[in-house]
Structure 1
Amino acid sequence: MTAYDLDVDAIASMYGCDLKSEYRTQFEHRVNIIKAWNIPPGSRVLEIGPGQGDCTIVLAAAVGERGHVDAVDPAPLDYGSPVTLGESQARLSASPLGHRINFIRASPSDYLSNLTKLDEPVLTYTHVVLFHSLWYFASPSVFPTILRNLQAHVTSDATLCIAEYALQAGSLNAVPHVLAALAQTVLEAGGIGESQRNVRTVVGPGWVKEETQKEGWVVRDEMVVIPPKNMADGRWEAESAVGDEFQKGVEEVAERDEPLGGVLKGMREAVRMAIVVIGGCVRDVETMNVWSATMQRGK
């Protein structure tokens, strides 16, 4: 398989995905964007924040036999449900494309800093990929730090490939997803407990472009992508924002910081009312649009 003929069902099967389940849309979404990125066979890819590897396996298919993917993520291997990161990564490593993948458990900045210290030829990547990983970062400062640490480890014509939610509702049914994402990042800012939330830092396309340009990357192509209709990410985040665990977090924040607690209560109610507007069923929540971009190092 190449970036031109990536087969969604073949890749999903290697991942162990039920092809009739809603999870298949995760691979459809990733294949669509990676095809547009046109990553050629033989590429050396650094993927930052692979999580359970649903993008990693698509990248491994795209780079071909002569290519390779290093996937760097600091998350604990027991993170994730119903399948943990460790279980998922082990399955992908044992798949027919597993020899093209190296999963590395480390923070991206630490990994890149350690590469710099090695007394051997500098490892360089032709492509750096962040696919729905920016919102997992603990703070906005993580991203520009990674960009600075990348400089010594990418080729002179390297491509930076980014896909992240656009903070843009493509339909009325996607509005709850946008509101839920904002509510979750405000709860994260409240600092309650050790966070394993899906949304920790909400950043938009404009901010991402500003930060990349500061570090010498120039936008080559960008587009707004409409996710597959039945992609469940929006519903999952809306369910979380109106759920009992979120409410518990809001109450804990309010005990410590009444004004912030009041903001969170209002934001949670906004998500709930947005669901009411679309008919009152959280299953009807759609996923917001996605911003995709490729960037080159400035000349």
Structure 2
Amino acid sequence: MSIDDLLHCMKIIGNEEVQRNQLMHRLDLVNAFSVEPGMNVLEIGCGQGDTTVALASAVGEDGHVTAIDLADADYGAPITLGQATNTILKSKLGKRIDFYLSTEFLEFPEEKFDIVVLSHCSWYFQSPEQLRLYLEKVYRMTERVCIAEWDVSEFTLEQHAHLNAVQILALHSEFVENDGNIQHIFSKDQLKKMLKTAGWKITQEHTVDAHYLQDGKWETAYAESIREVFDKTSTRIQVLTNTLYEQLKNKNAQSLNSVVLIGDK
């Protein structure tokens, strides 16, 4: 399916240019995952379904995508997960997808899948231990796992602001109010180590360009909007966050690239 067909399936959830860019990146990620027609895929942390749509397109009419997320249907703004996923289910791709919101993967039945995907969701985990348990369960359910996440190991000057912004947001979750998406900033090497601990062999690693996405600007703007709340924190945290805020001056902040790690048994 063309990107215009996929956008029609989503009925342009939000700004068309933004959605087109986001979907282009998801298509690049799915290509790096080597998803093939006819595959049965499990996606953990599906969110509003951007990657789900790309996966459903790749598996074709004979394939299927099971997409789960811990968040409930009312989560998200200005479009909720429920609104987004219902829109996708009503499209021509809907019959290829099952969405399970408000679903804890550790309580999900241990079925067999060709591939299990975790796309840009590892930083949402409440603890490294929780992610480790997920990867161990995934090991029992498939022969291949594919992880995509922001790459904090290599970046340009324009991408540096995005890196500092996510560090600020992680500090906010720890020292001010634990209500943000960013809980832990796992690096590529940390993810590799967790995969290996869970039994996986890292067989492929790819860098996928993402500088054109809006995420860098969004997260930089959000970090700037909460600067005053760090006045409530200790002197050490205030000094640290002030140092990070000094690095947010680049108004042309670009998104970090994505790293794709593929583990096989």
- TM-score tier by shorter-chain length is over 0.9
1:247 to 218, 228, 237: 228
Q: Which has the larger radius of gyration?
A: 1
Tell me the amino acid that sits aligned with residue 238 of structure 1: T
Root-mean-square deviation (CA), in Å?
A: 1.8
Q: Deviation string for 1:130-159 (max 9, x for gaps)? A: 1101011111111110112223322xxx22
Shift of 1:216: 1.6
In 2: Cα distance, 1:19 partner to 1:200 partner: 27
Show the counterpart of 1:119: none
The number of residue pairs the alignment matches comes to: 263
Q: Deviation string for 1:74-98 (max 9, x for gaps)? A: 1021111110001001101111001
The 5 A counterparts of 1:133-152 are 133-152=121-140
Tell me the amino acid that sits aligned with residue 286 of structure 1: Q
Whether the aligned pair in 2 keeps the contact of 1:70 and 1:103 (CA below 8 Å) is yes
The 5 A counterparts of 1:39-58 are 39-58=35-54
Q: Deviation string for 1:151-196 (max 9, x for gaps)? A: 3322xxx221111011145321111110111111122122625x1x
Q: Deviation string for 1:258-295 (max 9, x for gaps)? A: 25xx32x334433432232x3xx3xx111012111211
Moved more, 136-145 or 80-89: 136-145
Show the counterpart of 1:104: 100
Q: Deviation string for 1:104-125 (max 9, x for gaps)? A: 12111121xxx25xxxxxx200
Whether the aligned pair in 2 keeps the contact of 1:238 and 1:271 (CA below 8 Å) is no
Shift of 1:251: 3.6
The 5 A counterparts of 1:224-235 are 224-229=207-212, 231-235=213-217
CA distance change for structure 1 residues 141 and 42 in 2, over 3 Å: closer, same or farther? Answer: same
In 2: Cα distance, 1:153 partner to 1:243 partner: 42
Tell me the amino acid that sits aligned with residue 173 of structure 2: E
In 2: Cα distance, 1:57 partner to 1:24 partner: 12
1:238 to 204, 207, 220: 220
TM-score scaled by structure 2?
0.92
Structure 2 gap segments, 5+ residues each: none
Shift of 1:20: 4.6
TM-score scaled by structure 1?
0.82
